[in-house]
Amino acid sequence: MGELLTREELVTVRHEARRQGRKVVFTNGCFDLLHRGHVEYLIQAKKLGDILVVGLNSDRSVQKLKGHGRPLTPQEDRARVLTALEMVDYVCIFEEETPARLIQAVVPDVLVKGSDYQLDEIVGRDTVEQAGGRVVSVPLVEGFSTRGLIQRILQRYG
Q: Under a CB-based contact definition with an 8 Å cutoff, are residues 96 and 61 in contact?
A: yes
Query: Can you give the C-alpha Rg of the chain in angstroms?
Result: 15
- Rounded Cα gap, residues 33 and 38, in angstroms: 9
| pLDDT digit string, tens, across residues 81-102 | 999 999 999 999 999 999 999 9
| pLDDT digit string, tens, across residues 105-156 | 999 999 999 988 888 899 999 999 999 999 999 987 777 676 777 788 878 8
pTM recorded for the entire structure = 0.92
Q: Containing domain of residue 56, as a range?
A: 3-157
The total number of structural domains in the chain stands at: 1
What CATH number does residue 72 fall under? 3.40.50.620
